[in-house]
Amino acid sequence: MSALGDLRRIKGSTRGSPQKRDNRTALAFLLPWFAGLGLITIGPIVASLVLGFTDYNLIQPPKFNGVDNFTRMLSDERLHQALGVTFTYVMVSVPLQLACALALAMLLDRGLRGLAFYRSAFYLPSLLGSSVAIAVLWRQIFGAEGLVNQLLALVGIEGRGWISDPSTALSTLIVLNVWTFGAPMIIFLAGLRQIPIMYYEAAAVDGASKWIMFWRVTLPLLSPIIFFNLVLQIIHAFQSFTQAFVVSGGSGGPSDSTLFYTLYLYHRGFNSFDMGYASALAWLLLMIIAALTAVNFWAAKYWVFYDD
């Protein structure tokens, strides 16, 4: 490691070295990407920060109103409802999704025949899960005359309109998110492949059961991967929009039971001519996600084990 660092330092100090020229070429090729980053990502982010401190109805120019938007959040009952719905969704669906992903990754890791096929089959929902088509399909499956109720009818149970009943609507979205466990599963699978076989052999020699091996060998060595998946899936789940938008017909209903944070933000901005407040809401979401991610990184010190 240090020898490589020395080498880099030596190379870096040579003016006009081939590496420097390479860097310049690379920068030239990256320019379009940087332009896009500036125009499409950073520009609007800065604009939304400014708009967060204004009253802006989209039609007339924004008017500065100080921190009014932020104090308004304290008494905004629908915002509190949206936070409740979103936290429930994240806290329930992410652990379930990761558990499913890990369980299937371990099954597939046993050197199954046709592994490539199963891997693709289980990964497919991840590609489709946040698409409009799947959300529409979900409406059909969980509708009053949908597949779930037809199956329940076979065993003599009378179903209900799962999506149109406020007590079950959010659960159907959680099931949808859990079903898209393919992406973390692929990462788990790669992680499992990296655990040296010798640890298991040593454990077997010491007479450890499969269960002990899982708890004492697999989980600790896989913890960095679990951590990675956890952080990414939490961020991803907080930003869910399409599923709730399509499944609830854009309303976050019935009776606000699927009012995701992003959906509420969208309604304020684009349906209620309230873009200043919506921009402030976007920044609150950013802060919530940043804070949760920071807590995650802090907590990681106590449970994530790095082998290197």
Partner 1 sequence: MRIFRTRRASGAVALALASALVLPACGSGGSNSDLELSDKPVTLRFTWWGSDARHERTQQVIDLFQKEHQNITVKGEFKDWNGYWESLATTVAANDAPDVIQMDELYLASYAERGALFDLATASKHLKTADFDPNALATGQVDGKQYAVPVGLTVYSMVVNTDLLAQYGAQLPDDSSWTWDDLKTIGDQISKASGGKVTGVQSWGFDAGGVNIWARQAGASLYDDTGNVVIPQDVLAGYWSYLADLAKTGIAPQPSVTIERASAGLDQSGTATNSSVFGTWWNTQLTSLTKASGQNLKLLKLPGEAQAKSPGAYYKPSMFWSVSSRSKYPAEAALFVDFLANSEAAANVLLTDRGVPANNKIRAMIASQLTETDKAAVAYLDSIKVGPAPRVTPNGASSIEAILKRHTEAVLFGRSTPDEAAAAFIKELQVEIDRA
Binding site for partner 1 (CB under 8 A): 40-41, 44-45, 47-48, 51, 56-62, 143-144, 160-161, 163-167, 191, 194, 221, 224-225, 227-228, 231-232, 235, 238-239, 248-251, 253-256, 262, 265-267, 269-275, 278-279, 282-283, 285-286, 289-290, 293, 297, 306-308
Closer CB to partner 1, 120 or 255, in the complex: 255
Closer CB to partner 1, 213 or 289, in the complex: 289
State the nearest-atom distance from the C-beta of 82 to partner 1, in Å. Answer: 13
Closer CB to partner 1, 118 or 168, in the complex: 168
Q: DSSP secondary structure string, the chain?
A: -HHHHHHHHHHHTSTT-HHHHHHHHHHHHHHHHHHHIIIIIIHHHHHHHHHTTEE--SSSPPEE-TTHHHHHHHT-HHHHHHHHHHHHHHHHHHHHHHHHHHHHHHHHTTT-TTHHHHHHHHHHHHHHTTSHHHHHHHHHHHSTTSHHHHHHHHTT-----TTTSTTTHHHHHHHHHHH--HHHHHHHHHHHHHS-HHHHHHHHHTT--HHHHIIIIIHHHHHHHHHHHHHHHHHHHHT--HHHHHHTTTS--STTTT--HHHHHHIIIIISS-HHHHHHHHHHHHHHHHHHHHHHHHHHHHH-----
State the nearest-atom distance from the C-beta of 45 to partner 1, in Å. Answer: 5
Closer CB to partner 1, 219 or 232, in the complex: 232
State the nearest-atom distance from the C-beta of 305 to partner 1, in Å. Answer: 9
d(CA 148, CA 76): 36
State the nearest-atom distance from the C-beta of 2 to partner 1, in Å. Answer: 17
State the nearest-atom distance from the C-beta of 61 to partner 1, in Å. Answer: 6
Closer CB to partner 1, 134 or 246, in the complex: 246
Q: Which of these, 87, 71, 53, lies nearest to 280 by C-alpha position?
A: 53
Closer CB to partner 1, 102 or 163, in the complex: 163
State the nearest-atom distance from the C-beta of 226 to partner 1, in Å. Answer: 10
Closer CB to partner 1, 178 or 275, in the complex: 275
> What length is written for the chain?
308
State the nearest-atom distance from the C-beta of 16 to partner 1, in Å. Answer: 27
What's the first-to-final CA gap in the chain, in angstroms?
13
